[in-house]
Every structure is written in structure tokens, then in C-alpha cells.
Amino acid sequence: MGRWQPDSRGRLAKAALVLYDDQGFDKTTVAEIATQAGVTERTFFRHFPDKREALFGGNQSLEATLTAGIAAAPPGLAPIDAVAAGLEAVAAMLGERRDFARRRRRVIDANPELRERDLVKNAELAAALAAALRDYGVDEATATLAAEAGIGVFKVAMGRWTESDEEKPLADLIRESLAQLKAVTAGA
Amino acid sequence: MGRWQPDSRGRLAKAALVLYDDQGFDKTTVAEIATQAGVTERTFFRHFPDKREALFGGNQSLEATLTAGIAAAPPGLAPIDAVAAGLEAVAAMLGERRDFARRRRRVIDANPELRERDLVKNAELAAALAAALRDYGVDEATATLAAEAGIGVFKVAMGRWTESDEEKPLADLIRESLAQLKAVTAGA
């Protein structure tokens, strides 16, 4: 490979995840991540503002996939079914990356700072989902309710999917979690 | 009033809100807030770690009220009805403070940094709600789903309650928003 190396961003994210998992988030420096990825520290900071963000670089494409899934849904679906269409698109995107997702979950769970950032990212995802539903033609209150509930479904499904002994595909877990939401909100 | 002044914390929070609303969050200094509240800057920092937190000091009692409402609910309710019990307790606590809530909403909406902090606080509230539901006897996945959906209900109801032309009490808006959630998740 020549001096120009493709996909520095992807290699940095991967190197960060491996180092955080092996030696801990707090003990890992940006210099180590850059070395591992074969780039300079300056390149790291061209891609990520800080060490935490190296773990959340995929959120942009997650958000894009979710909102595109809703935009591509057939018109006239019930809002919760539009959410389901978006989550199915996400499952198709993430579905093959279970080992990566498990490792990432382990790293996040081990660090309060990362758990907080994860909460923020999920809240941003909920806001993007609500906006996509409004674009789909759903009124604001319904969009907010369906989006918050939808992110709950996503969280539960991701939580199960990344458990070490779970073998069901993400798409199935999303469908189960959605069915569970319907049962929960139907009440007594 | 003597040199010892009761409720510095409450006066600081109120002074911060008034100043943020009148002259903008960015233009207000901690020194100004402290002067307005009749205390020193050092006292400000004894109560709040930073300027943003002066707006979110009430979240602890909000969280305590929400979780106490669930703990005090009759045993054996459906999870979503336990959430409703928690939200009713919140409505009873906040219900008389609409002018305060409107002003606070206006300040938060005007500032991206505050909007982000608000997202974090709501995510923390959802986590506390899920924990309260688990203590009530609800399994983890159901607790997460009901909590995320419940925070959606709370957000929508608070959004409507703080609109300038809305006159319905918070408790009614929460009930309406909960009914709307049930309709949304029931699907087509």
C-alpha cells in the first residue's frame, strides 16, 4: 500500500474499538489509536473531535439508513408501521456485524462517560426519527410518540442482539420487541 | 432578612431563569446570577457545577416524584398503567408552575447547548423510570419499552402544556397523550 491509505476513518474506528476493549477506554490514548491505524494523530482529529466519538462514528449512517427506510416506505402506513420499515432497514444494515456490535456494547457498558454519550446519541436518533415521520406526513405529537417508542424498541432489540448467548437475527428481535411494545401499551 | 438566607439554591435557579430569558443564556454570567440572588459566586458553584445546570436543578425532584409515584401505585397494574401513575404524580408536582415551565421551555428552545442537555436529562429520566418499573416487578425489556414510551408521553404533554395558547391542565394533557400513544402503537 502506498503512502495514501484509503478509509482512514474506518481503520481509526476499528483500532479504537479494539484498543478500548483490550486495555480499557481510559487507558487508551489517541496516539495509540493513530499508530494502530497507521495514521497521524492529526488525521485522527480530522475525523473525530475526541476519543469518545471514535466509537460513535457509525451513528450518522445509522441515522441516514433509518430515515431513508421511512422515506422509502409505501405511503399511507400507520406511523408505527413506518417506524417498523425504518428499523427493518437498520437491521439490514447492521445485521451482519454482530461481533462488532457485541464488542462495542461491552466497551460502552464498561464506561460511564461512554454510557452518557450513548444516551445522547439515542436521543438524537429519536429526534431524527421523529423528523422523518413528520416528513412522511405524521403530525408532530404522533411523530414524537412513535419515535420515542420506536427507539425503545431499537434499544431492547439491540440489547438482546448483543447478549453473548442470543442467536436470533436482529430483524427477528426487532419484530419481537415491536410486538412486545404493542402488548405493553395496550395496557391491562 | 439576616446574613443567613434560606433557599439559596431556589433563588439561584430563579435568578438564572429570569436572566437567561431576559438577556440570553450566552450573555449571562455566573456573577450576575449570584448578585441577583444575593449570594456569592462560590455559593453558586456549591449548588450547580455550571451555568447550564442552574436550569436543570429541578430534575432530581422530578425524577424522585416520578419513581415514588410508581412505588406507591397499587400492586399488579399493567406496566403502562404504572407509568401513568408516575406521570400523574409528576403532574401534581408541576401542575401549578405553568408560567415557570413556559419561561424555562423558551430559554431551552433558544439555545442548542441547552437543548442537548435537555435531551440528556430526558434520557436519564427514562433510565430512572425503567429502573422504577423493574423495582415494581416488571421484566427488563418491558420496563425499557414502557419507560421510553412513557417519556415520549411526558415530552408531548409538556410540549403542549408550555405552548402559549394551551389552557388544559398538565394532568389532562398527559392522559390525552397516553391515549394517543395507545392509538399509535395499536397500528393500522
Contact B149 A144 (CB under 8 A): no
A180 touches chain B (CB under 8 A): yes
The pLDDT, as a whole number, for residue A120 is 85
Other CB atoms closer than 10 Å to residue B120's CB: what's the count?
Answer: 16
Does the distance separating the beta carbons of B124 and A124 come in below 8 Å? no
| A1 has a chain B CB within 8 A of its CB | no
Dihedral sign, CA of B128, B133, B138, B141? negative
Chain mean pLDDT for chain B: 92
Give per-residue pLDDT as tens, A79-121: 999 999 999 999 999 988 999 999 999 999 999 889 888 988 9
In single-letter form, the type of residue at position A91 comes to A
Q: Enter the C-alpha cell of residue A174.
A: 426487532
> What domains does chain B contain, in order, with CATH numbers?
8-49 (1.10.10.60), 56-186 (1.10.357.10)
Helix axes B112-136, B79-94, angle to 10 degrees: 130
What pTM does this model have? 0.85
CB B185 to CB A80 under 8 A? yes
Using CB atoms, pick whichever of B116, B148, B187 lies closest to residue A155: B148
Q: Which of A174, A184, A173, A159 is nearest to B138 (CA)?
A: A184
Q: How far is CA B77 from CA A72, A105, B80, B113, B169, in A?
A: 39, 33, 8, 39, 25
- Chain B residue at shortest CA distance from A154: B145
Within 8 A of B186 by CB-CB distance, chain A residues are 80, 182, 185-186
Instruction: Please write down the long-range contacts of B67-75, taking CB distance under 8 Å and 24 or more positions apart.
Output: B67/B128, B67/B129, B67/B131, B67/B132, B70/B129, B70/B132, B70/B133, B70/B135, B70/B136, B71/B132, B71/B135, B71/B136, B73/B136, B75/B136, B75/B137
pLDDT in tens, A148-165: 999 999 999 999 999 989
Q: Which residues of chain B have pLDDT under 50?
A: 1-2
Of residues B119, B147, B177, nearest to A141 (C-beta): B177
B168: left (phi over 0), alpha (psi -120 to 50) or beta: beta
**Alpha helix positions (H), B48-111:** 59-71, 79-94, 98-109
Residues B35-78: tens digit of each pLDDT: 999 999 999 999 999 999 999 988 889 999 999 999 999 999 99
- pLDDT, tens digit (0-9, with 9 covering 90-100), for A36-68: 999 999 999 999 999 999 999 888 899 999 999
Closest-approach residue (CA) in chain B for A155: B144
Inter-chain CB proximity B120 and A116 less than 8 Å: yes
pLDDT digits (tens, 9 = 90+) for A20-29: 999 999 999 9
- Looking at residue B89, the DSSP 8-state letter turns out to be H
Q: What is the pLDDT of residue B1?
A: 43
**Residue B79 contacts A, CB cutoff 8 Å:** yes
> CA B53 from chain center: how many Å?
13
